[in-house]
Structure 1
Amino acid sequence: MAASVVVIGAGVSGLTTAVCLAEAGLAVRVDTDRLPGATTSAAAGAMWDPYLVEPRDLVDRWSRRTLAELTALSTDADTGIRLAEGTHESTVPCEMPSWGTVVGALPCPPDDLRDGYVTGWRYRAPLVDMPRYLDHLLRRLERAGGTVRQHRHDTLGEALREAPVIVNCAGAEARFLADDPAVDAVRGQLVLVENPGIDAFFCDDTPGAEDLTYIYPHADAVVLGGTAEPGNWDLRPDEDAGREIVRRCTAVEPKLAGARVIGQRVGLRPVRTGVRLTQERYGDRLLVHNYGHGGAGVTLSWGCAREVTDRVLQAAVGPTP
C-alpha cells in the first residue's frame, strides 16, 4: 500500500505526528534526511518545559495535552520517560511562570535553594531520555504499520507529488523548505557526564540570564546544559563551551565535580515568532505545517500531533490503494 500521508522530519514532532496518524488507520511514511538518532530531538535535554515558544494560549493547550500523554507513558520504563522532582530557581526575585500551576509547582523555602539563588519553585514533571524515547516512538510507528525512508525533499512541491497529504515537521530546516524566514536556529549544546548519584533535576530560571544552566539526571548519566545561540547553525561541539557548561553546573551541584564526561550533543532549536500549525490545499493535495516549536518540541509534541491528525481526518483523505 502506498503512503496516504508523508511526514517530513523524524524528530520528536515528526515521529509523534506519524504515530498518531498511523494509529488512526492511515498509511504513513516518514521522509527524513537525518534518521531519528541524528536529529535535534536526539540532542535535547529534555523535559516537559514550555521554553522559547509562542503563542501562549495555544502552547498552554498543546502542552497540557502532552503532559497527560507523557505522564501516562512514564509508567513504561522502555519509553525512557520518568516523573522526576526538582527545582527551577532564580538569582533575582521573580514570579513563578504561568505553567507552574499546571504541574502543581510550589515555592521553595529559603533553605531549599541553592547557593546564590533567592527564589524558586519545586515540582514534578516528565524527564525524557531522548535517544531511548525516539526509539520507542519508532517502534510504535512500525507496529502501527508506518515506515521511515531516508530521503531529503528540496521543495514542498516535490514532496506534494509523493502522497495526498504532506505534513511538514522539518524543524529549523522549514526556514528553507517552506521558505519561511520567521524560522531561525537557536543552537543548543549540552554535555553528558556519568551520574555520581544525582536524582533531582535543576534549572536556572533567572530572567534575562545570558547562559542556560540545567541538570537533568538519568539512570547512568546526567545531561548538563547548556547554550542558546540565535542564528548559529554550526553542529560541531565547542570544547570551550562544553567546559564552561560543566563549570556552571558543578558550581550549582558540587556532586558533579570530577564526573567523567561521556560526550557532547548539539542541536538547532527551531524558534519562530509562533508555532506554525496551519494547512493549505493544492488541488486534491493537503499540506499541513507543524513546526516552529522552539525549545518545546517534546512539551508540545502530542498536543500538536493530535491536532494535525484531527485536521487530516476531517479532510477525509483515506489510504491510497
Structure 2
Amino acid sequence: MAQRPGRIVVVGAGVIGLSCALRLLQAGHRVDVVARDLPLETTSSVAAAIWYPYLASPQDKVTAWGRTTYDEFARLAERGADGVLMRWGTELLSRPMPDPWWIDAVPSLERVEPRAPYADAWSFRTPIVDMSRYLSWLTQQVLDAGGTLTRLALAGLPEAPLVVNCSGLGSRRLATDLTSMPVRGQVVVVEQVGLEEWWLAEGEAGGVPTYVIPRVTDIVLGGTDDEGEWSRTPSPEVADAILSRATELVPRLAGAKVLRHKVGLRPARPEVRLERVGDVVHCYGHGGAGVTLSWGCADDVVRLAA
C-alpha cells in the first residue's frame, strides 16, 4: 500500500489502534488507520471495559501502563468524554489474599469486610468505559486531529515508512505470531436498574469470575474465559449461567430485562508485545486488558515511533 513519505500506518481500529493513532497525531505525525473491522465491529466493542489488569503480563510493565491509563481516563471523565465514568466497586475473593500485584496503578485501594461465602474483599474507584459510546468518541478525536480511517482487508502488513501493528488476533497472520490465541468472552447486557457500584467475584477453585458492570443506560454481566475458542456465537446455556451467577451476586438484577448477548475474542499472548522491529512497531497481545493498558501503551508507541 503506497503512502506519502513520512506517514504512519496504524493497523487495527480497536481501542489500542485508535489510542495509538491519536497519540501519534498529537505528537505531530500524519496517521492513517487501516483495519478489516471498523471500531464498533471490533472485540473492543464487546468489552465490559472496567479498568482492571486481566490476562496481561509482564506485571511490572502492565502496572506502569495501567497507571498511565488510569490517570488518563480519570482526566477524560472529568472533561466529560463520552462513555467514560469513574465508579467505586468491590472485588470479592474466595480466600485471604495479599494486596493485588497491580496496587501501585490505583490511587487507593481499601480492604473491606467480605460477605459470606467470601473470605476477603477490597474496594477501589476505577474507570468504567461504555465502549459503544467511547469508541465513537475516540474515532472522532482521531478524525478531528487529521487522521484517516479506512476499511481494508490486509494479506500482510502494509508498506509504509512506519507501520504500527495493533491488529490483535490478526497478528497471528500479519506478524506470523502463533503465540497469539483467543480467549472467548461472553456477556449479557441487561437494562439499568439503578445500580452504580460495580462488583467482581472470584470464581470458586480458580474458576471463571463473575462481574457486574453498571454503565449509564445498561449493565454488563459476565463472564467466561474459554482459551483457544474461536466461536463468536452466544451460547444460551452460558447466558443463563451468567445471569444466575450475577443475580446471586447482586440480587437487584432479578427480573432485569435482557437487552442483548455478545461474544468477543480477547487477544491473549504470553506477554504483551510492544517493541519496534525495523519499520514496524508491534503493539498487541493485551488479553482482557486492552482498555486498561491503552493510553500507557500508546505513549510507549509514540516513543518508539520517534
TM range (shorter): over 0.9
How many residue pairs get matched? 302
In structure 2, the partner of 1:106 is 110
Q: Which residue of 2 aligns with 1:317?
A: none
Sort the Cα spacing of 1:71 and 1:53 in 2 relative to 1 into closer, same or farther, 3 A.
Answer: same
Tell me the equivalent position of 1:141: 142
Matched, 1:289 2:282: yes
**Displacement after TM superposition at 1:101 (Å):** 4.4
How far residue 106 of structure 1 moved from its aligned partner, in angstroms, is 1.0
2:92 aligned with 1:89: yes
Is 1:305 the counterpart of 2:305? The answer is no
User: How far apart are residue 207 of structure 1 and its match?
Assistant: 7.4
Distance 1:5 1:299 in 2: 24
Q: 1:23-50 CA distances to partner (integer Å, 9 max, x unpaired)?
A: 1121111111111001000000011111
Tell me the CA shift for residue 180 of structure 1. Answer: 0.6
Structure 2 residue runs without a partner (length 5+): none
8 Å contact 2:198–2:213 — kept in the other structure? yes
What is the rounded CA distance, in whole Å, between the counterparts of 2:116 and 2:169 in structure 1?
A: 37
Identity of aligned residues (%): 40
Quote the residue 1:49 is aligned against.
Answer: 52
What CA deviation, in whole Å up to 9, does each residue of 1:45-65 have, x standing for no partner?
011111111111111111111
Q: What is the SS of the residue equivalent to 2:241?
A: helix
Q: Give the TM-score, by structure 2 length.
A: 0.95
Is residue 63–residue 104 contact of structure 2 (8 Å, CA) maintained in 1? no
Aligned to 2:18: 15
| AA at the equivalent of 2:48 | G
Deviations 1:211-246 (A, max 9, x none): 220000012200000110000111111111111101
**Structure 1 position 206, deviation (Å):** 4.8
- The answer for unaligned runs of 5 or more in structure 1 is 314-321
Q: Deviations over 1:242-296 (max 9, x none)?
A: 1110110001111000000000111111111111011112xxxx11100001111
The alignment status of 1:35 with 2:32, answered yes or no, reads: no
Are 1:80 and 2:83 an aligned pair?
yes
Is it true that 1:210 corresponds to 2:236 in the alignment?
Answer: no
**Aligned: 1:66 with 2:69:** yes
Q: Please identify, of 53-62 and 6-15, the stretch whose mean Cα deviation from structure 2 is larger.
A: 53-62
> For residues 207 and 21 of structure 1, do their structure 2 counterparts lie closer, same or farther at Cα, with a shift above 3 Å needed?
farther
Contact 1:278 1:290 in 2 (8 A): yes
Q: CA RMSD in A?
A: 1.4
Secondary structure of 2:206's match?
coil
- DSSP-derived class of the 1:74 partner: helix
